[in-house]
């Protein structure tokens, strides 16, 4: 199980880096924000929705202007049934 999480983390970080390299309009994610994003994605995949959303909130505080973080956060909120907050966050993406 641990190996799968590490592989998922590595792939997630690589994909995020590739997306940022291709679409310069979203801006880079700060190092701390990126680490929190990766941790949040692992938590969400493990079904730990509340913890994943908590980590995404922290990432947004560290990098509030980052559209990619707003998008990830908004999608997580929508998946958790928090539609009103999801719409607000996604409108900022």
Is residue 68 pLDDT above 60, yes or no? yes
Instruction: Give one word for 77, left, alpha or beta, with left for phi > 0 and alpha for psi -120 to 50.
Output: alpha
Give the number of domains in the chain: 1
Mean of the pLDDT values across residues 47-75? 93
CATH number at residue 46: 1.25.40
Q: Which domain holds residue 18?
A: 2-91
Alpha helices for 23-92 (secondary structure H): 31-45, 49-62, 67-79, 83-91
CA distance 71 to 80: 14
Q: What is the DSSP letter of 64?
A: T
pLDDT tens profile 24-44: 444 455 678 889 999 999 999
């Amino acid at each position: 199980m641990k190996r799968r999480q590490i592989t998922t983390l590595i792939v997630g970080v690589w994909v995020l880096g590739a997306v940022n390299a291709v679409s310069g309009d979203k801006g880079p994610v700060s190092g701390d924000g990126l680490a929190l994003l990766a941790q949040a994605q692992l938590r969400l995949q493990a079904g730990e929705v509340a913890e994943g959303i908590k980590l995404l909130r922290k990432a947004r505080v560290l990098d509030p202007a980052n559209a990619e973080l707003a998008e990830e956060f908004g999608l997580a909120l929508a998946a958790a049934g928090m539609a009103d907050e999801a719409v607000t966050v996604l409108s900022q993406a």
